[in-house]
A and B are shown apart, each in its own frame.
Chain A
Amino acid sequence: MNHTLIICRKELKSYFASPIAYLLMAISAVVFGFFFYSATAIFVVRGMESQMMGRGGPMDVNEWVIRPLLTNASVIGLFLIPMISMRLFAHEKSTGTMELLLTSPVRDIEIILGKWLGALLMYACILMISAVNFIWIFAYGKPDWKPMLVGYLGLLLQGGCMLAIGAFISTTTKNQIIAGGATFSTLLLLWVLDWVSAYETSSMGKVISYISVVTHFEPFSKGVIDTKDAVFFLSMTFFGLFLTARSMESLRWRA
């Protein structure tokens, strides 16, 4: 456990020692900032429209602003997560520091968990940047904070699962660009797999669309913690880390 934290700390430090962390946080700030501005602007326009039409009554800011924004944040995650996970193992393999980790008295699982945790914390920092925007909603409105918290929990669970897949892909190559590209296309595919449900009604179609990481996030964005979705993300994370461990073991045999 101790080793896991040591590696996690080192991992987090190296994100912030390079421009990666700042770049990702800046991307998130700009893109999410635009999303936020648009969502609130639309909300304001709609609010004025409905008042002019004489349909009074308050509009739900959670429903109109926060929920779509959380879904948007998960899309930003789809783009940023490959950039976080691509270096995890590929970098260590190309610089030869993998040899240091693998010959130190540390178990493989501690290395993997430490790296994954470090990447997850990096993602959490990016999410925190996006959360800053919501301060304005709290300043000028009365949103319910609980569904928002659940939404962020969902984002973290989804991020953890995507990072685990990214970590696995990163162990398979020395080249960060390849790792990043392959992770992005894998995640994109996982993202759009639920399209299958639109034209395929067989049980196979159901299984395929079930694997999509999008459908499982929806309840979270509504503020609902659904055990089956949480379990989906956790088991996908476990599966990703399991593949990482196997891949690292094969590294030893092939090295």
Chain B
Amino acid sequence: MIKVEGLTKRYARNVAVNNISFEVEKGQIVGFLGPNGAGKTTTMRILTCFMPPSSGKASVAGFDVMEQPMEVKKRIGYLPESPPLYPEMEVDEYLTFVGRLKGIPSSDLARASDHAIAKCALGEVRTKLISKLSKGFRQRVGLAQAIIHNPDVLILDEPTSGLDPKQIIEIRELLKELSGSHTIILSTHILSEIEHSCQKVIIINRGTLAAIDSVENLTARLRGAESVAVEIGPSDGTPLAEAEVQRKLEQVAGVSRVVARAAKDGNCLFEVESLKGRQIRPDLARVVVGSGWNLNELRPVGFSLEDIFLQLTGSETGGASGESK
């Protein structure tokens, strides 16, 4: 449905997107993940024909974004980062305007607008001025605008920003409902969002593709290495020297990283990561007990998408967030 080959966007001084290639099949929900300034919005803007790429190719539903932008635009619903609303219009009026703009025939206009309003739960505000709406409602009007012409492809730039948890769940349900007949690309900072609603993740960092895979595969790929939470207590009541314990744990064969977590009641809590394919739990237990400490807990922790994300987009941010806990 969407095909991107060697896409590059250069500005005067920097490269926003550098040689990105990926494909999205029909009916998939794809998460677009990356830190701020990674090039997510730029890529989306190229796909929606808002701006042309410097080089490379992108096509939507078989139409090239450079050669046949009109055909592409007809098939795309786009929600930019800040919803493109006219504050002086009423919700109904706005959706009718957008519907006309997107080429919905007048006979279908009322039905299409009712449909979008129902999908995005806007019934109670349809005759209100957009300038009077709360941020959550505005976001939903923006979403209604994107789906009104029933496009093949939906491109959503942070669709859940500014929404409360209940609304986020509603949007998530809506996206799932839409995914069968629509292909959806959504960008977000919220990683759980991707774990919940996406089948595939595209991670980009500093304009380059860091990873592209299904959520399950990505987690499995990193699960070869395991992460273990260890809680160690003193056997004789005297508090442990955390640094000393950490040093010992780091010396265990197969350990790649030891991160100290919160210590409480004289107990130390660590998160220990293994090298790929190494079983470290038996050795860890032996070392702890051998040193005369109490092993209160030894629990494997699965890698979350967050860990994968941090690992792929640079460990300096990962270290910082680890220490801040």
Contact = CB atoms under 8 A, between A and B. Distances in A.
B94 to A, nearest CB: 10
Contact of B89 (A7, A17, A99): A17
B278 interface: no
A41 interface: no
Given A103-B48, A103-B50, A103-B78, A95 B84 contact: yes
Interface size class of A (residues with CB under 8 A): 20 to 34
B147 interface: no
B88 interface: yes
B186 to A, nearest CB: 16
A14 B88 contact: yes
A159 B129 CA distance: 32
B245 to A, nearest CB: 53
Contacts of B73: 103-106
A252 B45 CA distance: 10
Contacts of A98: 84
A48 interface: no
Interface string A87-124: 00000000111111111111100000000000000000
A252 B52 contact: yes
Given A104-B73, A252-B51, A6 B101 contact: yes
A251 to B, nearest CB: 9
A103 B76 contact: yes
Interface string B39-66: 0000001001111100000000000000
A22 B89 CA distance: 17
Contacts of A255: 45, 50-51
Contacts of A222: none
B52 A100 contact: no
A13 B97 CA distance: 11
| Most A Cβ at <10 Å: residue of B48, B52, B87, B100 | B100
Interface in A66-105: 95-105
Contact of A102 (B50, B85, B89, B102): B50
Contacts of A95: 84-87
B102 A105 contact: yes
Interface string B127-146: 00000000000000000010
Nearest to B99: A6
A46 interface: no
A203 B92 CA distance: 58
B112 to A, nearest CB: 14
B38 interface: no
Contacts of A7: 101
Most interface-central of A14, A102, A104 (chain B CB within 10 A) = A104
A100 B45 contact: no
Given A105-B102, A252-B52, A100 B84 contact: yes
A174 interface: no
A3 B86 CA distance: 17
B52 A97 contact: no
Contacts of B86: 10, 14, 95, 97
B87 to A, nearest CB: 8
A10 B97 contact: yes
B212 interface: no
Given A17-B89, A105-B70, A100 B98 contact: yes
B189 interface: no
Interface string B73-108: 110101010111111110000000110111100000
B51 A253 contact: yes
Contacts of B98: 100, 104
A201 interface: no
A18 B131 CA distance: 12
B103 A105 contact: yes
Given A96-B82, A97-B86, A103 B97 contact: no
Given A103-B49, A252-B50, 13 more contacts: A96-B80, A96-B83, A98-B84, A100-B98, A100-B101, A100-B145, A101-B101, A102-B49, A103-B50, A103-B78, A104-B73, A104-B98, A105-B73
19 contacts: A6-B97, A14-B89, A17-B88, A96-B83, A97-B85, A99-B50, A99-B80, A100-B78, A100-B84, A104-B73, A104-B101, A105-B70, A105-B73, A105-B74, A105-B102, A106-B73, A252-B50, A252-B52, A253-B52
Interface of A: 3, 6-7, 10, 13-14, 17-18, 95-107, 252-253, 255
Report the 3 A-B pairs with minimum CB-CB distance, sorted nearest first: A100-B84, A17-B88, A105-B73
Interface of B: 45, 48-52, 70, 73-74, 76, 78, 80, 82-89, 97-98, 100-103, 145
